[in-house]
A and B are shown apart, each in its own frame.
Chain A
Amino acid sequence: MTMKRPWIVIACAAFIVTLAMGVRQAFGLFLPPMSIELGIDRGTFGLAIAISNLVFGLAQPFIGALSDKHGAGRVVFFGGLLYVLGLLGSAWVSSALGLHLTLGFVVGVALAATTFVVVLGAVGRVVPPERRSLAFGIVTAGGSLGQFLVVPLAAKLLGDLGYHLTLIVLAGLVAVCAVLALGVAGRPTTPAGEGPRQSLKEALGEAAGNRSYWLLNAGFFVCGFHIAFIATHFPAYLADQGLGLTVGATALALVGLFNIFGSYLFGLSGDFWKKHYVLSGIYAARGVAIIVFLILPLSSTSALVFAAVMGFLWLGTVPLTSGLVGQIFGVRYLSTLYGIVFLSHQVGSFFGAWAAGWLFDRTGSYDAAWIASILLAFFAAAVHLPIRDAPVARLRAA
């Protein structure tokens, strides 16, 4: 099967991540009702989400490789079915182990098969290099839109229908991913202009020996750290400082809203300016935003402005980082190579969520975690500057 027209691939990819990322982001809402019904504590429920995130990251390079070999369509199709199974299974489990297997393991694998790494590989193969960053930005904005829309929708359903039926409705939503898989289906081939056929082993060896690839990994680690730290601990920080529920809730909405525009606009900017310089600017802006937020007296206004700014800078790194991987190494093994970079992001997420809490427990404040976030922001800004964004010699020779 040949690939569809670019706009069909982009639209289907955007809808797939809208659904897959949107539903994923709503899992936290199920904590209170499921904890009560299953008789488990919050830590046990949280472990299911933690397993899901860990499996999501660890499986990503392997599922990316499967996608590069068999095509994104098949991977998204089976990933969509797994997602449905995981959600339906979690609606009927009666034990912590069952929850860890369904919502944790099965959904974790399904996420790796239905989100950015897999679909961006398909998009990269049908879009010309000069428009690739914009296309990646549109797909990333789809994921951001899903997070913004599905979370409050799931909250409403939970209140009206209870958690069993809500999980079934969400399973119905992600089942659409399996249908949309047709739009990203197609046999992966080496695009014209990417030189002689390369094996997966050769592609991995080429990337491993490239300094810029390691710098991208380091930068994306920081992205994961920032997002997980702020997502996990920012609400608690605001509560500690005495700001009310309305401010915290509005801050969450602003992060989601501005993330949509940031994802698109930073993706688009990658077609006009050098991606590694834009990335450097994003990380530096994060550092400056945190410094300004901490220096200014804390108020509702400063918290909301900070949430909007960080939301704008939230996932803008995705189209640029994946775009750089494709630009430097070509798109034949984009899902595999970007999957490894994504694993680095998930490791950063782990440390952002866990280490910030650990530092808080040791010191009684988030000061050390904020300082670490600032230092990491400028570290990431610095490591992107020396990246060589020129295609590798194999592509230049083609």
Chain B
Amino acid sequence: MRRHAIWLAPLALFPLCALGLWLWADQATTIWLTGFFAACL
């Protein structure tokens, strides 16, 4: 059981991922327009 649970451990990050997705939904267009990917490698 414990052996399998370790593969599912990242699910514990779900609240942080939800927060991140909310922030992205709020700011994604701004991030896109300011060329986030072009400037930071």
Contacts and interface: CB of A to CB of B under 8 A. Distances in A.
B3 to A, nearest CB: 10
B34 A29 contact: yes
Contacts of A234: 37
A27 interface: yes
A222 to B, nearest CB: 15
B21 A257 contact: yes
Contacts of A300: none
Contact of A148 (B20, B36, B40): B20
Interface string B16-41: 11011101111111111111111111
A260 B41 contact: no
Q: Is the interface of B mostly helix, strand, loop or mixed?
A: helix
A282 B40 CA distance: 23
A15 interface: no
Given A46-B39, A149-B16, A29 B31 contact: yes
B40 A152 contact: no
Contact of A28 (B6, B19, B40): B40
A229 B24 CA distance: 22
A51 to B, nearest CB: 12
Contact of B34 (A32, A141, A352): A32
Contact of B41 (A145, A236, A257, A353): A353
B4 to A, nearest CB: 12
Interface residues of B, number: 29
B39 A49 contact: yes
A97 to B, nearest CB: 19
Contacts of A45: 39
Nearest to B24: A253
Interface string A142-156: 000100110111011
Interface residues of A, number: 48
Nearest to A31: B39
A265 B10 contact: yes
A116 B20 CA distance: 22
Q: Is the interface of A mostly helix, strand, loop or mixed?
A: helix
Given A148-B20, A152-B27, A252 B38 contact: no
Contacts of A249: 24, 28-29, 31-32
Given A49-B39, A349-B41, A235 B9 contact: no
B40 A149 contact: no
A190 interface: no
> By CB atoms of chain B within 10 A, which of A29, A45, A236, A261 has the most?
A29
A234 B17 CA distance: 23
B10 A152 contact: no
Contacts of A32: 34
Interface of B: 6-7, 9-10, 13, 16-17, 19-21, 23-41
15 contacts: A29-B36, A49-B39, A53-B41, A152-B28, A153-B23, A155-B27, A155-B34, A156-B23, A235-B32, A245-B33, A249-B24, A253-B24, A257-B17, A268-B7, A349-B41
Given A152-B23, A153-B23, A232-B38, 15 more contacts: A28-B36, A28-B37, A29-B31, A46-B38, A145-B13, A148-B24, A152-B28, A152-B31, A155-B30, A155-B34, A156-B26, A159-B30, A260-B13, A349-B41, A353-B41
Interface of A: 24-29, 31-32, 45-46, 49, 53, 134, 141, 145, 148-149, 151-153, 155-156, 158-159, 227-228, 231-232, 234-236, 245-246, 248-250, 252-253, 256-257, 260-261, 264-265, 268, 349, 352-353
